[in-house]
Amino acid sequence: MATCAKCGTEADDAGKFCRNCGARMQPQDTEATTWRLQPKAEAGADRSATAPVRPGNTGQPSSATGPAYMPPSEAYQPLQHYPQPPLEGNPRPVSISVGDWLYGGWRLYSGNWALMTVAALLGTFISMCTVGILAGPLLMGLFRMAFKAMKQERPEMSDLFNWEGKFLPAVLAFFIFVVLWYAVSGLGSGHELFWLLSFVFHPLLNIGLSLTIPRMSEGRADLADAINSVARRIFSKDALMWWVVGLAFTIIGYAGLVACGVGIFVTFPWMICAAAVAYESIYGIDDPNRTLR
């Protein structure tokens, strides 16, 4: 006989379930079988001994790195970048823009206005004391200061006297243009027609001198090559536009005389910087700091 463990109802051994409650019947003389299961091994567990993890290299780097590069501040952004053309080559076509050149020259001057103004004042004083003999070399020094500023270098007062072996060519170049200037002025004093001739040639001579001096300094040309290169550039199909550029530079340069003569030490170095920008647009400059675009 078997007894229901839940409700106590007796039943024969043949029945597996209680007739009263339906629970599973269990014989009285037997014990429930207890199954002991082995614990499952953890998934992914490696039963073999593992080697210790080797720590990474947390020491100092083998070599120290230098400070981050900080580009210099740009007071002037060059209009164009060209390599130096051969002196015997044909002139490079260029868009003449007196407004861009004046604006670029003002930005160049305003970034170094104190130094450029003092240098112009000192150069004018020395030129007057030497009866104009040092005017050409000192003009070359002013252009050198302007070109150093264009190359993002620091111009110094000593650059005014750094002529790089071009002292005599600078003296001769200034003397040639002064002789031509006074020759045209002498012709213009006799008749209205000659006065018109001087009015036409004076701006061209002024811009010619402003390009010849840096052509010898920055372009490494001798006196003859510099004058020839600039003359072929100016006396061309664009001669009228070059006359406008020379007239604008001349008017602004001498406009400083109105302010008791003091303002010329602002307008004069400004025109030096504007002529340097014009030269850069025509011939290009050898700028080691530029980025090719």
The one-letter code for the residue type at 136 is G
Give percent above pLDDT 90 in the chain: 45
Domain spans of the chain, in order of start: 1-27, 98-282
**Distances, alpha carbon 281 to alpha carbons 155, 171, 221, 248, in Å:** 21, 26, 17, 17
Give percent above pLDDT 70 in the chain: 66
pTM above 0.85, yes or no: no
φ and ψ at 207, to 5 degrees? -70, -30
Average model confidence (pLDDT) for the chain? 77
Find the mean pLDDT for residues 179-189.
77
pLDDT of the residue at 11: 66
Confidence of residue 88 (pLDDT cuts 50, 70, 90): very low
Higher pLDDT, 250 or 195: 250
Higher pLDDT, 21 or 207: 207
φ and ψ at 17, to 5 degrees? -130, 150
Q: Which of the listed ranges 3-17, 48-62, 143-157, 246-260 does the model predict with the highest average pLDDT?
A: 143-157
Find the mean pLDDT for residues 152-169.
92
Q: With contact defined as beta carbons under 8 Å apart, do 115 and 158 qualify? A: no
Span 264-290, pLDDT tens digits: 889 999 999 999 999 999 888 875 555
pLDDT of the residue at 236: 87
Span 25-42, pLDDT tens digits: 665 554 545 555 555 555
Place of tokens 């160049």: 108
φ and ψ at 47, to 5 degrees? -75, -15
Query: Residue 156: pLDDT above 80?
Result: yes
pLDDT of the residue at 126: 96
Span 99-133, pLDDT tens digits: 999 999 999 999 999 999 999 999 999 999 999 99
- For 125-152, the DSSP string reads HHHHHTTTTTHHHHHHHHHHHHHHHHTT
Among candidate residues 285, 211, 205, the one with its CA nearest the CA of residue 247: 205
Query: Residue 208: pLDDT above 90?
Result: yes
